[in-house]
Structure 1
Amino acid sequence: MGFSKEEKSRRIWRVFMTMFFLITMAISFLVFSAPVFLVLADAILPSALLSASISPSYLSLNNLSSYFDNYDFRSSLIDIPIISIIRSAVIICVYSLCDGPNLSRGPYLGITMICSISSLVFVSLKASLMLSWRIPREGYVTATEAALFISSWALAIAHVIVAYRTSCRERRKLLVYKIDIEANGFPRYQKILPQERAK
């Protein structure tokens, strides 16, 4: 049983509008929920990169505990995902506790900058020490290890950018809200008649 051309074009248009609606909803979610999306990426991506750099047979509880026991700041990579998880947990807690005024100016932007800058300093110091220790001994750094450092830097900078944009957006909302309140609250002056002005 075939469809007429009009019915086919109507179905194609309906599918196109549904896809457009879903894509628009996804984009709006990413724009307005960027802090939440970024926190999830920060918690997942470094851990996934670290697990990719470790052989699957090494990912057991006993081996991971020995990995912590033999931790060396110059060579171990386990601390980078831990820093990312702590950073994202602190930022999402502050973000969820803040309302509009506190998002526009206050703890969210300040704590995000402190967490991101301190993690940037930590990861940069670790990268410089690791390169100076690893390259003379082994002569190379794997692509996964380099991606782990780069992702940690990029996510820390992205946290600051998203926090700043969120702060600016909330500040604009408060400004519009304040203007609207003031516009509705202007006193209504009565018109002065000429005879009253002569008095």
Structure 2
Amino acid sequence: ATLDIMDKNTMTTIENFHHVGLPTNMEAVLVLEVDGFKESVAVQTQQIIDICNKFGAKNIRVSQNQQEADELWFARRSAFGAVARLRPNVLTEDAVVPRDKIPEFITKTREIFDRYNLTVCIMGHAGDGNIHPNVSLDLRNKEEAENFEKAAEELFDTAIELGGSLSGEHGIGMLKSGFMRKALDENSIKYMKEIKKLFDPKNILNPGKIFNE
């Protein structure tokens, strides 16, 4: 089973790249897929429809055959490529928030990048709260590059404030290492260092990439 989300900017960008009939007049869309035996799928589908109606979904579209389903997933998978066509560069961030905080996180993410005059297309895996803001920009433009760094910092702060974490899939890496003390307590970082030392006593595996001291 799958539960993904795409915001309005993402849908509009995809539609300009490959028309599949996404509802670009909506603020966001959920793409759900269930699997199993035919009877089970029918029951699950009806349960999903009932839940969506209960919480005010504006439009519910059920694929009638495999081709329709494939077209929807093609649209979702082509999102990054479509965004990449907008500007010379696209940078994808990765943060996780509790599922009931997804609407607030998406709203605040838009506000952050709008404030820095950067185009952001938001998509992700709503089933586990893993959200990917894809930012379209030109890294040759110093101001845009600096604005992205500032916006990314606010994005991570927002995720942490909402009870989330810095990454769900892409890892911490060098970009987010400076935020670890905001997301984790000192004991957690201490244990990470001890585990690193246990497996790498000579500090030859990526020295200084995460823990500089």
Which protein shows a greater Rg?
A: 1
TM bucket normalised to smaller: under 0.3
Say which structure, 1 or 2, has more relative contact order (CA 8 Å, 6+ apart). 1
Which has a greater percent of strand?
2
More helix by share: 1
Q: How high is the TM-score relative to the length of structure 2?
A: 0.24
